[in-house]
């Protein structure tokens, strides 16, 4: 996919599943549970053990209608490494121009993390395809409405505070998509090896998005 198609895919499916888990051997059952549950956009964070190998594995395992990206990317070299492993989009918790520049250079969509209106607009002007608003749970949905009123051109994606059931409220507040992690791949299910619950969580999320 080219950069435009990647962004369109994210906007179409509206949910980026953010994967953070403590053990690399948990990846395949999590991946299969999310795939079976209908997830189409997957972000593997660099904080996961053996993240690069898992991104490579995910890119090979992914069906043609699934997009795999990398999260927690904070420098140019990490962009190169993750794209080399197969990442189609790059997500960062911060605004760093070298991350945006390198992602653009390699033809990948980039979603830097910003907090204030000035940071968000600066990220957009620097070339962000979507601005990840983080941590969104601190700011809330009212913040999205307030920012979008004078800056309607922005494409915003909240991460933090997004649940299986409030996803459409975030979209109604102005989000083009959401990043969702612990509500989807919850710690209790992981600790118990209950991957069926993760599949059910994914199905619930997708159902709520479609019905919204």
C-alpha–C-alpha distance, residues 135 and 118, integer Å: 15
The tens-digit pLDDT sequence of the chain (212 residues) is 899 999 999 999 999 999 999 999 999 999 999 999 999 999 999 999 999 999 999 999 999 999 999 999 999 999 999 999 999 999 999 999 999 999 999 999 999 999 999 999 999 999 999 999 999 999 999 999 999 999 999 999 999 999 999 999 999 999 999 999 999 999 999 999 999 999 999 999 999 999 98
* Residue found under tokens 């059931």: 165
Sign of CA dihedral 50, 52, 58, 61: negative
C-alpha to C-alpha distance for 34 and 52, rounded to whole angstroms = 19
């Amino acid at each position: 996919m080219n950069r435009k198609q990647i962004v369109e895919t994210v906007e179409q499916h509206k949910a980026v599943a953010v994967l953070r888990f403590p053990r690399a051997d948990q990846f395949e059952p999590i991946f299969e549970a999310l795939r079976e549950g209908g997830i189409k956009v997957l972000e593997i964070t660099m904080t996961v053990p053996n993240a690069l190998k898992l991104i490579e594995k995910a890119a090979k395992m992914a069906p043609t209608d699934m997009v795999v990206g990398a999260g927690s990317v904070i420098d140019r070299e990490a962009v190169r490494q993750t794209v080399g492993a197969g990442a189609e989009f790059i997500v960062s918790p911060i605004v760093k121009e070298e991350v945006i520049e390198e992602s653009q250079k390699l033809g990948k969509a980039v979603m830097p993390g910003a907090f204030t209106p000035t940071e968000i607009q600066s990220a957009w002007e620097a070339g962000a395809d979507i601005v990840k608003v983080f941590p969104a749970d601190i700011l809330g949905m009212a913040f999205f409405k307030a920012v979008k009123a004078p800056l309607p051109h922005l494409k915003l994606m909240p991460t933090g505070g997004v649940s299986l059931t409030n996803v459409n409220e975030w979209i109604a507040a102005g989000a083009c998509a959401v990043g969702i992690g612990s509500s989807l791949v919850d710690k209790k299910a992981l600790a118990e090896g209950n991957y069926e619950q993760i599949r059910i969580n994914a199905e619930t999320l997708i159902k709520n998005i479609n019905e919204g």
